[in-house]
Every structure is written in structure tokens, then in C-alpha cells.
Amino acid sequence: MAVPALAVCSCSSQSHAHRADNILRSETYRTWLVQGSDNGMVVLSVAPAAKIAKIELVNAGSQFVEVLASEEEADGDWFTIMPKSVFRTEKEVLAETARDRQRSTTLSPATSSKSWKRLKVVCSITPGLVDVKDAKYYFGLANLRIEIPSQQQDAATSASTLSQCVSPFASTTSKSSPPARTPPASICSAVQTPPMKARRLNPSSPSVADVTAVKPAAVSPTDLVVRRAADAAHTSTSKAVAE
């Protein structure tokens, strides 16, 4: 759907410095002001006719703002699409404060489903509240912007697509526990200790339990005397041979 263009068809009043088409400019310091009256209006054309999902307004001193729409290009019936809304209290008007308040209004499904060709913006102030001929009490509108349903859908789709995009450098590992870093295979092979092989005991050799269990044999007194006599005779024979 093409984005519609807005243009001023008519207005209740304007001046060279505060033209009605200022509400269509991006610079909000340029405003349209009603002069010498307690209400004023601007009629805008919408080309091509479009469904409107949202209206965004930037005030310029108005106490009340209302937006109506028509499905006809001229002499058609007007339907309220944004009810008369309070932008400033009487106290703020008298104190000359809060002149540039902003507001965004989402239209109802029944209203946003229709295609509109004209918009009428009505700005007003409580009659008799201030001297409307005094320049410091002039009021009007700074900016008006509309949003069509396809713009809302495109914005939602873009946001959804962006949230589903994953960076190629993204890691699924938790931030609180960084992944373990594995050293190169060359370093692992250089420092790796070869596994120890189990040694098999000689079947003929006694086990530790057997060695521990071996005790010296008991020697009788007779054997002890015989061994001593044999040792003495051996010693005597060795001496004789030596001489």
C-alpha cells in the first residue's frame, strides 16, 4: 500500500508566519496558530485514500483537539475518529505552560478499517477563558502525522526478523561458564605420559604373602653340637694346611 500524501485544502485562519501547512513539516518549531478566535480548523486531503491506524499530534497551545474524517472528497459526512481530547488544563492555559504536549492515538478497528479521503483537525480553547486577541494566547497545532496499517505491520515484521537473527559468532555456551580451551594435539602428544604396563610375577617365585609367611626352621640342641664340632674340625684342618 502506498504511503498517502497529506495536503492542506482549507483552514479557518492563518498568517504568513504561522501557515496551516506548517503542521505537515518535520520542524515542530513551525506552527499553525488560530488568531482572534476561540476555535479553528484545518482540512487536509489524503491522496490516495487510505486506512489510518494511528494519529500523532504535537500541540501548539490548544486546550482541546479533535480529529474528524470523511470518505468523500467534498461535501461528505464527517465522522469523529479521535474524540475531543484535553491537551492543556485551564490552569496551564492561564499560566502559558505545557504548550507543546504530544499525543499518539491508536484508532479503533472499526475506524481503521475504512479508507479516508479527508481529515479535519479542530483546535479550540474554553470561550472567555483568555483574551484570544492577545498574541500570547494564540493557539493551534505544530505537527500532525498519520500511520497506515501496512506501516505498523512492516514495523512489527522487521522487529520480529531482527530478534530471530543470530550472529555467526554467537555461542550457545553460557556466559557464566566459558567453554574449556583444548590445547593443540602436538602439545598433548608431547606431554602425554605413556600408560604403565602391569608386570606379571614369575610363577616360580614366591609371592609376597609366601615370603612373609616363611620362618626359620627350628634347630635341636644335638644338631647344634654337631655343627659346632664340624666347624672346629674344619678350622683345625685349614690351619694345618697353611703350616
Is residue 208 very low, low, confident or very high in pLDDT (cuts 50, 70, 90)?
A: very low
**3-class state of residue 24 by DSSP:** helix
Say how far apart CA 84 and CA 64 lie, in whole Å. 6
Q: What is the pLDDT of residues 68-105, one digit of tens each?
A: 999 998 878 999 999 999 999 999 999 999 999 999 99
Q: Give the HSE-up count for residue 26: Cα atoms under 13 Å, Cβ half-sphere.
A: 0
- What predicted TM-score, i.e. pTM, was given to this entire model? 0.63
Predicted confidence (pLDDT) at residue 234 exceeds the cutoff of 80: no
Say how far apart CA 158 and CA 42 lie, in whole Å. 34
CB 118 within 8 A of CB 86: no
Q: What is the pLDDT of residue 237?
A: 55
Q: Is the dihedral of CA 81, 3, 71, 58 positive or negative?
A: positive
Is residue 130 very low, low, confident or very high in pLDDT (cuts 50, 70, 90)?
A: very high
CB 44 within 8 A of CB 121: yes
Radius of gyration of the chain (CA): 52
Angle at 57 between CA 48 and CA 122, to 5 degrees: 80
User: How high is the mean pLDDT of the chain?
Assistant: 79
Residues near 150 by beta carbon (within 8 Å), at least 6 away in sequence: 1
Residues near 70 by beta carbon (within 8 Å), at least 6 away in sequence: 76, 77, 78, 79, 116, 117, 118, 120
Q: What is the pLDDT of residues 133-188, one digit of tens each?
A: 999 999 999 999 999 997 656 655 565 555 555 444 444 444 455 555 655 555 44
Predicted confidence (pLDDT) at residue 213 exceeds the cutoff of 70: no
Residues near 149 by beta carbon (within 8 Å), at least 6 away in sequence: 1, 51, 53, 112
